[in-house]
Amino acid sequence: MLKKIALFICCISIFSCAPSHFIKPLEKKQHVANVSLGGPLIKFGTATIPIPFITATYGYGIDSTFTGFASVNITSALYGNLQMELGATKQLLKQKGYFPALSFNPVINFIYHDSKSYKLYPQLDINAFWEYGKRKNFVYVGVDNWFELSQKKAYDLKQQNHWFVSPMIGHSFVGKKWNFNIEAKVIAPNLSNEKLVVDYQTPFRNKGAFGIYLGYTRKF
């Protein structure tokens, strides 16, 4: 049917359009602002590129193990939507030697276009991270879990998929006033990516998508 429509549709792959937010809680009463860029890899012409999702996040350390945050998806805003994430990071376990620290992030994602077009998606991320070195850089792995609550979709067809699981791995470079983050995510590897208008590029052939994300955090 079309070529450009592939790009058109790619822009609505809203889930996993942002990297994991705060894997490690902020210090108590610490304010940060974060901007991240990246998304699932797609084929665009002859090139493979990440969908350029831009997300801006504000975070606040409520205490040393609990951080609250709010994000705005700038790319979605370009299309007249208010797409936000409200969530928190809670650290459950501290690192002990090779045993990683554990944290989890309950998040509410909502997208609002008008009174007839809005959706809410709960998300729960579970993370493990290892700090190392003098600056306390850290490596992390985790799993994003998105949940589709609707039972029906267009034309009252049954919504088949309700759980979108996305394993990820990343690294944070920690500075005094900034952090730089890079993350790779395998998005919904349990779901087929065939017979879709979106030409997702993934090492896993006909399953899911593969996302790459970069993030910059400024500390205040």
Partner 1 sequence: MKKYILSLIVVVALSSCLRLDDNLYNASKLTEYKLDNYTGEVDFTLDYSYHIPDSLVHVFTLSSQGADESSATTIYAIYIGDIAQIATDTVIMYCHGNKDHMDFYWQRAKLLANTKSKNRFGVLMIDYRGYGMSEGKPTENGLYADTDAALKWLQSKGLTNNRLVIYGFSMGSAPATKLSANNYTLKPSKLMLEAPFASAEVMVQDGSGLALPGTTVTDLQINNGEEIKGVQQPFSWIHGEADDFLNIDTHGAVVYNNYQGTYKESHRIPNAGHSTIPTTMGFQAYLNAVGNFITNH
Binding residues for partner 1 (CB under 8 A):
1-5, 7-15, 31, 33, 56, 58, 72, 74, 76-81, 111, 113-114, 116-119, 121, 148, 150, 152-155, 157, 159, 161, 164, 188, 191, 194-198, 218, 220
Angstrom distance (rounded) from CA 129 to CA 192: 30
Q: Which is nearer to partner 1, 64 or 159 (CB)?
A: 159
Angstrom distance (rounded) from CA 131 to CA 77: 35
Q: Which is nearer to partner 1, 120 or 169 (CB)?
A: 120
Residue 186, beta-bridge partner list: 210
Q: Tell me the pairing of strands 207-219 and 31-44.
A: antiparallel
Q: Which is nearer to partner 1, 64 or 117 (CB)?
A: 117
Q: Which is nearer to partner 1, 58 or 173 (CB)?
A: 58
Instruction: Output the smallest distance, CB 132 to partner 1, in A.
Output: 30
Instruction: Output the smallest distance, CB 13 to partner 1, in A.
Output: 5
Instruction: Output the smallest distance, CB 168 to partner 1, in A.
Output: 18
Angstrom distance (rounded) from CA 64 to CA 172: 18
Residues 67 and 57 sit within 8 Å (Cβ to Cβ): no
Angstrom distance (rounded) from CA 21 to CA 140: 12
Instruction: Output the smallest distance, CB 121 to partner 1, in A.
Output: 8
Give the start-end residues of each E strand in 45-136: 47-50, 54-63, 66-73, 82-93, 101-114, 117-132
Q: Which is nearer to partner 1, 81 or 89 (CB)?
A: 81
Instruction: Output the smallest distance, CB 220 to partner 1, in A.
Output: 5
